[in-house]
Amino acid sequence: MPLNPALEGRAYPPVRFVVESERVRRFAEAVGSAGADDGVPPTFATAPEIEAGLARVVADPELGLDFTRVVHGEQEYEWRRPFRVGETLEVRSRIESIRTKGGHGFLTIRTEMLDEDGETVVLARSTLIERGEV
């Protein structure tokens, strides 16, 4: 079943995500960045992006995404400042585009993470590819 193009532009309700020190520590170890001077790894952004954003988009029954055929195509982050341990983020995701090319579906999701003052901390753009049936 192809992706439902009518969902282009759909925004999902914002979700809160707390930047917990233990979660940061485990993430930093996994990406080999757990040194004393390393701080919060910039790509820690992936945790709130997935948990509060992507997970709900890909589970949207109206989208018709077959997760067993999904691979990650592209990823982009734009950081306005580093994360602070203990802060609470508001995470907003929306479907930026839905395209079909060469039998594959391309889903681009835009996620914005804001701090308690409403300032943008990180902008994320993720393109998932739903591989065509073989």
Partner 1 sequence: MSPSSPRLEDLAPGQAVPELAMAVTRERIAAYAEASGDRNPLHLDDAFARSVGFPGLIAHGMLTMGHLATCLTRWAGDPGALRRLRVQFRAPVLAGETIVAGGTVREVDPVERRVVLDVWVRLEREGRTEHPIRRGEAELRLP
- What does the binding site for partner 1 look like in residue numbers (CB under 8 A)? 23, 26-27, 29-33, 35, 37-43, 46-47, 50-51, 55, 67-79, 81-82
Q: How far is the CB of 32 from partner 1 (least distance, A)?
A: 5
Nearest residue (CB) to partner 1, 14 versus 39: 39
Closest CA relative to residue 58, chosen from 122, 127, 123, 133: 127
- The region that residue 69 occupies, defined by phi over 0 for left and psi between -120 and 50 for alpha, beta otherwise, is alpha
Q: How far is the CB of 64 from partner 1 (least distance, A)?
A: 18
Q: How far is the CB of 97 from partner 1 (least distance, A)?
A: 16
Nearest residue (CB) to partner 1, 5 versus 82: 82
Q: How far is the CB of 56 from partner 1 (least distance, A)?
A: 12
Give the tokens for residue 89: 């983020």
Percent helix / strand / coil, the chain, rounded to 5: 25, 40, 35
| Residue pointed to by tokens 């090319």 | 101
